[in-house]
Amino acid sequence: MNGKLYIVGIGPGGAEHITPAAVHAIAASTLIAGYQTYLDFIPQLLGGKKLLSTGMMQEVERCRAALEAASAGEIVALVSSGDAGIYGMAGLALEMREALELDLEIEVVPGVSAVQAAASRLGAPLMHDFAVISLSDLLTPWPLIRTRLKAAAEADFVVALYNPKSRGRTTQLGEAGAIFRACRPATTPVGIVRNACRGDESLVITDLAGLAAAEVDMLSLVIIGNASTFIDGFGKMVTPRGYEVRTGTTPPLEKGGPGGISLPSNPPQSPFAKGGSENQTKARALFIGGTGSDVGKSVVTAGLCRLLKRRGYKVAPFKAQNMALNSAVTPEGGEIGRAQALQATACGIDPHTDMNPILLKPNSATGSQVIVAGKALGNMSVSEYHRFKPQAFAAVEAAFARLQTQYELVILEGAGSIAEINLKTHDIVNLRAAQMAAAPVLLVADIDRGGVFAAIIGTIELLTPDERASIAGIIINRFRGDASLLTPGITAIEERTGIPVLGVIPWIKLQLPEEDSVALGRKPVAAQSQQSLRIGVIRLPHISNYTDFDPLEASAGVELLYISEASQLAGLDLLILPGSKSTIPDLFWLRQSGIARTIHNYRQAGGEIIGICGGYQMLGKMVIDPDSVESDLDLCEGLGFLDVTTILTGEKQTHQVAGSALAGAAQLGLGQDDVVSGYEIHMGETTIGPLAQPLLRLTMRSGCTVVVNDGAISADGRVWGSYLHGLFDNDAIRQPLLSRLRQKRGLETVEDKVASNLESELDRLADHLQTHLDVERILTLLVPPGGPG
């Protein structure tokens, strides 16, 4: 007569975790079979029993022996740790019974699985849909494991990884981590439990960014959270039972075939996309993201700031990290991106460093000056900055928290594309910032560059399900023509994504400061009219703050040209050397390009030259760099047009300033009673020699009374320079300059008034958005005005 085979899961190993059913099955058996390590967990149950033990990786032999013993009449318990039906012996025993055609009773007795044990020690990470994947490729080909990992990551499952690493298998966990980092934020919680519920248990809670450095072996189980998993105040890992509990988001979209996502014809919408609901908490922040760089995020943000200010909100702008050519100085003397200063003006408030806590100013192909909370921290390479990111994000969180205590609504701006999957691991400015702020996202796409529908769909499909659910609406920007022609495309976007298109913004000519290097590519390089003044700005490789010259560009009868070749200097009425983030390298470029020689010829022919900040330093005799602030050279010869010498220093001067003209400035048409203002951003001290005169006397710096001379002018008055950015915003500087240049050319007098002013342009922008956006739908996402703040 045949015996019986119990397949028994004994749990993690301790007697307290073995189920009564498992104890009963072992007690009823005459022979206990198992891997010796597992038998060692239950010595109290083995008294008087026959034992059949084998080593690791001898599962088939062990199972066959157990089946044969049971067929011969023994009552056999074949034990596994955890649950025998999860990576245990149950499946193998049932397969072999079928293959051997045995008439044998088999009963599977469940146990506490390793994934359950590990989850219990971490908190509650498995409270929503989860997947269990073994990284062992002994029985499953690694390409298939990789496919399963990618599918689980994209579908936003919590994922438990068995067999994560062994002595002979060391790379699979790293590859798995990379797959998940491509789909989830680097801050996604990860729990690692070794020997769960055993005497030598150890556990670590980290995140995807820290997984690679964590200690993991074959006795460890790794649990990777989904988009809603968080670490609570007691250090426990929690995945909410329903997505709506924590984030208000919908379940992940279903996956299609090998091509990726198959979006349903009526996809589920997030509460944000629906415009909110009675049960949804209204947001105190709004995030403006983009499908790419230079799609108009900064301008749309500024326009919404002004529009919502007019709707009664106490509103402030915020950009976690900005990489900009053009910066501004706050009243307290901190440096931030020019766009955030503009947006602050749109809000009717002074700019503050909390509005842009991290500013990067590229000074090489692979590195930038890093400015934190308005002050230069130093230069960092890309890899150095990536290592600094945790500290950077801490500064971001602190700055945003301070803003939210002062304002009832904060409008955040992203950087580049929100779907840069190669950068997502290190993201602190896009959707990670939106998540931090609990902000619905408006996605801006530029139709003027072409391919707008592909850009929108592609961006959304590269997002994780939870990221998609944060998108509240889509804005199509810079359209030229009849907007009704876009109706089929808009309908397709809305049907495919479930996200509404909130408006099509027609192209509009605005005279607002720009900060992106992409905008320089749109600047003219050749004059169009013989009757206009021609002012040339050298487009230095490391040009900075080219918005200094916007008032000249906006003046009637002026053509402002950005030149990068020596031949383009011909016919100029005025040449300007702008600011530079790397004065010495840009001086070398001027010489190597031949432009320096052409500038000398231009000067000898009677041309007028102005240098601002770094350009002012270049006009001097020498730039000295004893501390290698910019290069390995101790000194570099300047162009020699001004009798000044500059020593570069490590301490950066950033101030809003005001002052008045000195006697030397009379040659430029300035009276000594004329008050001028601007701002300083420079690293260096400049000394004036006897052949030059100082230009201005500063009497205020960052709100403090000072007496400091600034700038220099040559004896003949045709070359001058200053450290002050924003000089040409002063009528006392700009008007006599343009008038004198017109007289020299014999041109008719033109009333020198800037074509528009900043306030009127911001109002015009807000009116434009009010006309072409579904503003009321946007307002349904937000707290009403007059709330906290």
List residues with catalytic annotation: 613, 725
DSSP secondary structure of 587-619: HHHHHHTTHHHHHHHHHHTT--EEEETHHHHHT
Which helix (H) or strand (E) is 766 found in, with range? helix 758-772
List strands edge to edge, sheet with 719-722: 558-563, 533-538, 574-577, 609-612, 719-722, 712-714, 692-693
**Nearest-CA neighbor of 432 among 186, 133, 596?**
186
Pair of tokens at residue 60? 């088939």
Q: What are the structure tokens assigned to 142, written together?
A: 């690694």
599 in Cβ contact with 575 (< 8 Å): yes
In this structure, what are the phi and psi dihedrals at residue 501, rounded to the nearest 5 degrees? Answer: -85, 115
Contact 96, 63 (CB under 8 A): yes
Check if the beta carbon of residue 387 is closer than 8 Å to that of residue 277: no
Q: Where are the beta strands (DSSP E) in 302-365?
A: 315-318, 321-323, 327-329, 335-337, 358-362
Q: Strand order of the sheet with strand 635-637?
A: 635-637, 622-624, 644-647, 685-688
Taking residue 448's Cβ as centre, other Cβ atoms within 10 Å add up to 12
Identify whether the C-beta of residue 32 lies closer than 8 Å to the C-beta of residue 70: no
Q: What is the Cα–Cα distance from 532 to 738, expressed in whole angstroms?
A: 11
The rounded Cα 501 to chain-centroid distance in angstroms is 24
- Taking the CB of residue 292, how many other CB atoms lie within 10 A of it? 18
Give every CB contact of residue 343 below 8 A, 6+ residues apart in sequence.
298, 301, 302, 305, 317, 355, 411, 413
CB 654, CB 374: distance < 8 Å:
yes
| Cα distance between residue 742 and residue 762, in whole Å | 31
Which tokens sit at 780?
A: 């349904």
- List of residues 6+ apart from 203 with CB closer than 8 A: 118, 121, 122, 191, 192, 193, 194, 196
Structure tokens at 76: 């056999």
Long-range contacts of 100-103 (CB under 8 A, 24+ apart): 100/67, 102/67, 102/71, 103/2
Three-state DSSP at 333 gives: coil
* Residues 709 and 694: beta-carbon distance below 8 Å: yes
Counting Cβ atoms within 10 Å, is residue 722 exposed (0-12), middle (13-18) or buried (19+)? buried
Non-local (6+) Cβ contacts of 163 within 8 A are: 134, 135, 136, 169, 218
Reference 12, options 194, 136, 135; nearest CA is 194
d(CA 441, CA 432): 11
Nearest to 270 by CA among 467, 437, 445: 467
Query: How far is 53 from 75, CA to CA, in rounded Å?
Result: 16
